[in-house]
Structure 1
């Protein structure tokens, strides 16, 4: 196969961690006894869904009493207001009736707010984790209830050396892989770059956002990633099977015409090469081969430099930039 030139977008490789766009441990805002749990561990919840209800029977009784007191205070206030128009009561008596009404209404608002705090709701849509409480448990203020994580979209955070700051920017494509899902590539884009460089490591922190509709990526996972740069380059590409790796360097075999024969016999010449990134079944060669040169792609371990060869491509495999083997 002839070495061919392609337009290549260089990539920067790194490793990173998956983090949630939004994640929290849902906890209680008030103390109380758990009277009802309204979700199943591992389920998907929506904003405002009631997760846990604490016992509010005491507050309900107090609220009933406060409502009765407020109704009587309201009657006395309106009566005092009417009497004040004919000057049959003093301003101090009207002020006292007004103050009583305001106090009873404030008591009602306080009890309703307390009951609301005993109703634990999902602050955003996400997936809940393992339940950390049970019905009948007494919870103090701030007790953890359950982990809630928004998984779609999801963040991947990673670092790059400061020498790459000039070529990275928001919007660049990111390809993410993990050993949890071999052969599966997750695609995303750089959405944030830290404005400072870490003074200890001289690295800059970046954040990519990925769609995760199947919720395969989970916060805390370790991932590998390739950052695709915006500036393209011209590069020579050959099948990766053409490369013979050795302790003294990498080599390929180039097919050449025998200048001493008129019959068109060919021989192979072993050539040292410098390699770059890999793309599917192909690999970039940065030095050692010219465009159009015929390269041996299979059976290189049987060859020696100067051997005569006959080209037979009947059993040659098909090479692809995006291979999709049947077993994946």
Structure 2
């Protein structure tokens, strides 16, 4: 009996405990719902207020201009000497004297190398003596022939001997002259390949000689330009050695035909090269200027932002006085004063808005680029500070260049 009463008492207490737990969970659920409802109302009220507008960005600006450009054709070529040769020797001999320094400028006829001529001069002296004796013998034979003491054939033999010896004398003099190696034309020497006391074989190289003033620029152009390219057209040449200095010249010759393999034709231009900065073998970027003229709209090259999605410029639109920017409400704007805007207004700076415009960029020349579509002459475009801009952003125009911000270099530990 006692066990039964104890069991019933335990059942009553367990039911009360479970009821209290369930009641606690119900209270927590109600509190969570009330809290969520209050939070959503507060968030909704805060969301209905628009965030303060970004302060104006400082930029630089320039106007699109109309310029008259002449059509230019780009080509790749190389420079070559008007005259260039590797000076060699025609005859064998020992180097007795060297009359030049590597890299020096020489005039036509200057002695470059003198070979030893001692043996050749001794032979020349012998031949000259034999020729003189033969001339005297011929004179006596002619006197005897007039008296009919010698035959006509003996007189002819004596005359032939004189002619033969005189020819040998001339030949020997030419041989001696060839051992004096001269510059065939005026130009600049390269590195010398010979040394004093060296024995040279016929055809052995002595030094390179190039004539570089004037100098040639050889290049090719597509066949479609054959009808508009001819002698006399001006060109500009730029080389890697002097990237900031163009060299001017003019076309001197055009090939009479077009190559079948490449459908290009060869063109040769001549540059004065009076300062002798250009050298044969240099790689050259050539620009041919055609006689036609065309009007183009240009802007500074820094105004165009290039991307895979298209080329973009930011046009500056003047903000009307009292106008409300897009997205603002007049009633709320009175309670939201932008410190940057107030400061700019107080200093007398005018605030503008920008419009992002996709453009079609064309040819670039120097610091300006052609805009074929997207803007009109006189339009004002942003030239620096674009990284912070978006469509409709406010800007202040500065007279000084605005450098793009970069992340600071992290300092070491």
Q: Secondary structure of the residue that 1:296 maps to in structure 2?
A: strand
Once residues 165 and 291 of structure 1 are traced to their aligned partners in structure 2, the CA distance between those partners, rounded to angstroms, is 34
Residue 61 of structure 1, CA deviation: 0.8
RMSD: 2.2
Is 1:315 matched with 2:400? Answer: yes
Q: Which runs of 5+ in 2 are unaligned?
A: 1-61, 325-349, 403-413
Q: Secondary structure of the residue that 1:304 maps to in structure 2?
A: coil
Once residues 196 and 351 of structure 2 are traced to their aligned partners in structure 1, the CA distance between those partners, rounded to angstroms, is 86
Q: Secondary structure of the residue that 1:26 maps to in structure 2?
A: strand
Is 1:25 matched with 2:93? Answer: no
Once residues 158 and 69 of structure 2 are traced to their aligned partners in structure 1, the CA distance between those partners, rounded to angstroms, is 82
TM-score (norm 1): 0.89
Higher mean Cα deviation, 294-303 or 256-265?
256-265
Partner of 2:103: 42
Q: Secondary structure of the residue that 1:196 maps to in structure 2?
A: coil
Residue 313 of structure 1, CA deviation: 4.7
1:272 to 333, 354, 358: 358
Partner of 1:211: 272
Is 1:296 matched with 2:357? Answer: no
Partner of 1:225: 286
Contact 1:244–1:301, Cα closer than 8 Å, also in 2:
no
Q: Secondary structure of the residue that 2:63 maps to in structure 1?
A: coil
Partner of 1:9: 70
| Matched ranges for 1:114-125 at <5 A | 114-125=175-186
Q: Which runs of 5+ in 1 are unaligned?
A: 318-328
Is 1:250 matched with 2:336? Answer: no
Q: Secondary structure of the residue that 1:197 maps to in structure 2?
A: coil
Partner of 2:200: 139
Contact 1:34–1:134, Cα closer than 8 Å, also in 2:
yes
Once residues 124 and 160 of structure 2 are traced to their aligned partners in structure 1, the CA distance between those partners, rounded to angstroms, is 19
Q: Higher helix proportion, which one?
A: 2
Once residues 76 and 384 of structure 2 are traced to their aligned partners in structure 1, the CA distance between those partners, rounded to angstroms, is 33
Q: How many corresponding residue pairs?
A: 316
Q: Secondary structure of the residue that 1:244 maps to in structure 2?
A: coil
Max radius of gyration: which structure? 2
Once residues 51 and 98 of structure 1 are traced to their aligned partners in structure 2, the CA distance between those partners, rounded to angstroms, is 40
Residue 35 of structure 1, CA deviation: 1.6
Partner of 2:161: 100
Is 1:171 matched with 2:232? Answer: yes
Q: Secondary structure of the residue that 1:306 maps to in structure 2?
A: coil
Q: Secondary structure of the residue that 2:226 maps to in structure 1?
A: helix
Residue 262 of structure 1, CA deviation: 6.5
Contact 1:158–1:207, Cα closer than 8 Å, also in 2:
yes
Partner of 2:369: 283
Once residues 272 and 261 of structure 2 are traced to their aligned partners in structure 1, the CA distance between those partners, rounded to angstroms, is 32
Higher mean Cα deviation, 144-153 or 206-215?
206-215
Residue 152 of structure 1, CA deviation: 1.2
TM-score (norm 2): 0.72
Partner of 2:138: 77
Is 1:180 matched with 2:249? Answer: no
Q: Higher strand proportion, which one?
A: 1
Residue 213 of structure 1, CA deviation: 2.7
Q: Secondary structure of the residue that 1:182 maps to in structure 2?
A: strand
Task: Map Cα deviations across residues 91-119 of structure 1 (whole Å, 9 max, x no partner).
Answer: 22221221111011011011011111221
Partner of 1:322: none
Q: Secondary structure of the residue that 2:225 maps to in structure 1?
A: helix
Higher mean Cα deviation, 87-96 or 269-278?
87-96
Residue 88 of structure 1, CA deviation: 4.0
